[in-house]
Structure 1
Amino acid sequence: MDGKELYGRELTRSECRSADDRLLALVEKRPGLVSANGKLTCNRCGNQDRNKMQAAPCSCGTACFYCLSCLNMGKIKSCTVLHHLPETNAFAWPHEPVLQWQGQLSSEQKRASDEIVETVRSEETRLIWAVAGAGKTEMIFEGIAACLRKGGRVCLASPRVDVCLELAPRIKQAFPDIPLALLYGGNEEGYSYTPLVIATTHQLLRFREAFDLLVIDEIDSFPFHNDASLQFGAQKSRKKTSALIYLTATPSRAMQNDIKRGRLAATVLPARYHGFALPEPECLWVGNWRKAINRKKNARFLSLIRRQLQQQRRFLLFLPHIQLMEELDGWLRELFPDKQFTCVSASDPDREEKVKRMRAEMYDFLMTTTILERGVTFRDIDVIVLGAEDRVFTEASLVQIAGRAGRHKDFPTGRVCFAHDGETKAIQGAVRQIHSMNRAAGRRGLLNGSVSVLPK
């Protein structure tokens, strides 16, 4: 490891395996855990919760405390020393054209892009609140380019590995001459020092004051939205003077309140880039669908699946739990032996390949948990949520899931069905939110297509 690979990073000694003694003598060092006023704090993730600290015999010869909050990133103990070299932006100055994307932004995307560029230049914070399928990725290109042109370092982060994997090829295509590192747990490529980084929010815990621009996509997504350590890590990864851009279609109530009170600058886009309305969901009661799966009979929801197959409409079928999904997978193979389909979840080691096969239209349908609720795009797809009343499906989750349909400019409409055993506030709130965005887009004259719904 040379000095460049430590710039803007904060690592344990074991993570600096290839650094020689001369380099280690130059780095800034601080303890992994620090005690002040009787309270332990983890310098990597900011954890101060004593319930998330544990003592155990240690190789240093004493009983060391270690942090449970960021344990999945490696153990931080009382005797741990963190190593850091301040970021110097020591990469080659980029040559024009920095941005080589040849597409064209809609007027609304251009408005958002201009406001992002201004936020980058003024080193401030902004939320881009844009409906699913609005083209958020394309909106940030000019902001990234503005930062790179002045020699800055950029990170695009997301809580979801799938979102990072979706972003990477699009960013590489737009910035083909800019070295890029893709960081997520289990990535065998490892770390390299680059001006452009795409990373899961967990990986930000290994950075300190590195980035001149940090873009966090799907800011409301699990686990980031309710994990104080990940939020601490994101702030720690930024330089003291830097720009921060949040992207989401479903900001939290707290963020919405901050916008109303003028504490957070925001750009709101209620319409998709292709000018068609968001598909508005049909809410359909299907009775006790769990019992139907267990007993393999009297399943009202099967009519939805049969209709999709008869009409040769490819679709995503969302379910709330892995076990139920796997049981349904077995049953559907008995009912539809000639159809091509599979199921995918966060615990599936082949999920990346399965998503690629679905994108290549090799499956008639794909069953999934909430792992695919956001960050993935398919060319022409319908959506069914089976068990939409389950607490796993929050209002934000249902809005994101509905946003999988009608995203492509050549296929801007799609069907969305929330199949349930009793409507919930989350279902009603999601339908209301989608309808509200369509109304707002209509009032602003941003729609040139009709609202798409499943037939009654």
Structure 2
Amino acid sequence: MTYASFFAGRELIDEEFKTLPDEHIATRPAIHFNGGKPRCNRCNNTTNFASHPCARCGNLCTYCRNCIEMGKISSCTTLYTWNGPSPKHHENAGTLHWTGTLSAGQKVASRNVERAICYSREHLVWAVAGAGKTEVLFQGIASALSAGKRVCIAAPRSDVVRELAPRLAAVFPDTPPAVLYGGSPDRNTYSPLVISTTHQLYRFYHAFDVLIVDEVDAYPYTFDRSLQFAVQKARKPESSLIYLTATPHAEWQSEVKTGKREATLIPARYHRRPLPVPKTEWCGNWKKTTVPKNVLLWAKAKVKEGHRLLLFYPHIDTMEKALPIFKEMDPRIESVHAADPLRKEKVASMRRQEIPVLLSTTILERGVTFPGIDIAVIGAEDEVFTESALVQMAGRAGRSADYPTGDIRLFHYGKTDAMMKAIRQINEMNRLGIERGLIDR
């Protein structure tokens, strides 16, 4: 591997490489002090610092606690970036190997994305879950790669990254993407096409001509200003920024409606069937019982009919207490959460239809597709289930043309504004889809 292919676009610390080239390397301090107040140049943190006796310099060093999971940086740490020529693209880098067709809504979004990439602008694609946001990107990415541009698709969650990677690899086989997340084997791989968690962008500086942020409203990105800073730091000064989401926050929705934010709205799925609308069902105080009776009866009836289920729980402990009851129905039933060491394997098994029912925290609210499933949210009134979370969970059902419908139940101990707003938003998208001729009545 050449120095250019290793360093290009990256911003690294000493511990992240073995040897340093003699030229084309720029440096800057990892922590900048202004009037004695520290600021981390890697993540822009200004408040979350601590001090420690430093083995490197022998002094009492200030270090950043905010991005420490990416490797500790202290006041004596140097950040290294490459300012030499970047590796050349493969001559077929921009060749698109995709034979699918776009819906009317997707075609409009695809043209607008390609135009934003061409003119280095920002653009928001607001598309309902299952509308085919990824396919909307293909032509724009192809044009960018053909023009010698470097492209990154970033998402807040590693599940989304792992879901996107094989799809992009299949349509751009001449440009195998570098896939970056915690523990990824591609950490030192160079590619003009990168698929990354937003956390991994801390390690890049002015690297990308095109930066696409998928699920821009998802936790933790939407609440973490340092991740938003990392996105801006990773893009080149002249570059395009494309945002994708099914549930933009209220401020962005207002900006779109008033014309202050450039956006394309896709209110319908590619298969032209309406979004399944959740039904609310009271289940009593679910916190005081292992599994509410009507939840269990619903699940048993669905499994008997041959349906597969995705059941969302607000808390790990409640979910794990319920799991043995569900396993009595079928021992293959599993649960999954963010810290589950078998998380990837369970999601893959669910995708292969080997698991009939999967219990999950909000970790699977977005970015995953399981064909032909029904959805239940247990304790839907819990504060963790925001409007956007409920819309996304509902969006797991009815995504494929073979299974365009689905039963979605919000089991609750009292209705909330978030529940009602989520239902209204789904109904509004269906109304717009019919109005624009994107849904068959």
In the superposition, the TM-score normalised over structure 1's length comes to 0.93
Instruction: Return the match for 2:227 from 230, 247, 272.
Output: 230
User: C-alpha displacement at 1:190, in angstroms?
Assistant: 2.7
Task: Kindly indicate whether the alpha-carbon contact (under 8 Å) linking 1:155 and 1:199 is maintained by their aligned counterparts in 2.
Answer: yes
CA distance in 2, matches of 1:259, 1:64: 46
User: C-alpha displacement at 1:260, in angstroms?
Assistant: 3.5
Amino acid at match of 2:247: T
User: C-alpha displacement at 1:37, in angstroms?
Assistant: 3.3
User: C-alpha displacement at 1:189, in angstroms?
Assistant: 3.8
Sequence identity (%): 47
Q: Structure 1 segments of 4 or more deviating over 3 A?
A: 260-263
Deviations, residues 254-300 of structure 1 (Å, cap 9, x unaligned): 2223324433210011000110000000000010112111xx7x633
User: C-alpha displacement at 1:396, in angstroms?
Assistant: 0.4
Q: Secondary structure of 2:358's match?
A: strand
Give the corresponding residue for 1:29: 27
User: C-alpha displacement at 1:97, in angstroms?
Assistant: 6.3
Q: CA RMSD in A?
A: 1.5
Amino acid at match of 1:438: N
User: C-alpha displacement at 1:25, in angstroms?
Assistant: 5.1
Give the corresponding residue for 1:43: 41
CA distance in 1, matches of 2:90, 2:374: 45
Give the corresponding residue for 2:11: 10
Deviations, residues 342-375 of structure 1 (Å, cap 9, x unaligned): 1111111111111111111112111111111000
* Gaps in structure 2 of 5+ consecutive residues: none
Amino acid at match of 2:3: G
CA distance in 2, matches of 1:240, 1:263: 22
Task: Kindly indicate whether the alpha-carbon contact (under 8 Å) linking 1:87 and 1:210 is maintained by their aligned counterparts in 2.
Answer: no
Task: Kindly indicate whether the alpha-carbon contact (under 8 Å) linking 1:344 and 1:367 is maintained by their aligned counterparts in 2.
Answer: yes
Alignment map for 1:98-177 (pairs within 5 Å): 98-177=95-174
User: C-alpha displacement at 1:93, in angstroms?
Assistant: 4.3
CA distance in 1, matches of 2:302, 2:295: 11
CA distance in 2, matches of 1:425, 1:340: 36
Alignment map for 1:192-271 (pairs within 5 Å): 192-271=189-268
Task: Kindly indicate whether the alpha-carbon contact (under 8 Å) linking 1:91 and 1:194 is maintained by their aligned counterparts in 2.
Answer: no
Q: Secondary structure of 1:77's match?
A: coil
Deviations, residues 311-363 of structure 1 (Å, cap 9, x unaligned): 211110111111111110012224x2x45311111111111111111111112
Task: Kindly indicate whether the alpha-carbon contact (under 8 Å) linking 1:86 and 1:209 is maintained by their aligned counterparts in 2.
Answer: no
Give the corresponding residue for 1:353: 345
Alignment map for 1:279-318 (pairs within 5 Å): 279-293=276-290, 299-318=293-312
CA distance in 2, matches of 1:379, 1:55: 51
Amino acid at match of 2:17: C
CA distance in 2, matches of 1:44, 1:291: 46
CA distance in 2, matches of 1:218, 1:309: 31
Amino acid at match of 1:57: P
User: C-alpha displacement at 1:251, in angstroms?
Assistant: 0.4
Amino acid at match of 1:72: E
User: C-alpha displacement at 1:183, in angstroms?
Assistant: 0.5
Instruction: Return the match for 2:332 from 330, 333, 340.
Output: 340
Task: Kindly indicate whether the alpha-carbon contact (under 8 Å) linking 2:9 and 2:81 is maintained by their aligned counterparts in 1.
Answer: yes
Give the corresponding residue for 1:452: none
CA distance in 1, matches of 2:27, 2:94: 39
* Gaps in structure 1 of 5+ consecutive residues: 450-456
- 1:76 paired to 2:77: no
Task: Kindly indicate whether the alpha-carbon contact (under 8 Å) linking 2:43 and 2:229 is maintained by their aligned counterparts in 1.
Answer: yes
Alignment map for 1:182-201 (pairs within 5 Å): 182-201=179-198
Deviations, residues 204-227 of structure 1 (Å, cap 9, x unaligned): 000000000000100010110010
Give the corresponding residue for 1:403: 395
Alignment map for 1:409-448 (pairs within 5 Å): 409-448=401-440
User: C-alpha displacement at 1:445, in angstroms?
Assistant: 1.6
Amino acid at match of 2:369: T
Deviations, residues 386-428 of structure 1 (Å, cap 9, x unaligned): 1111111111000000000000011111111111111111111
Give the corresponding residue for 1:331: 325
CA distance in 2, matches of 1:74, 1:370: 28
Aligned length: 439
Q: Secondary structure of 2:355's match?
A: coil
Amino acid at match of 1:399: V
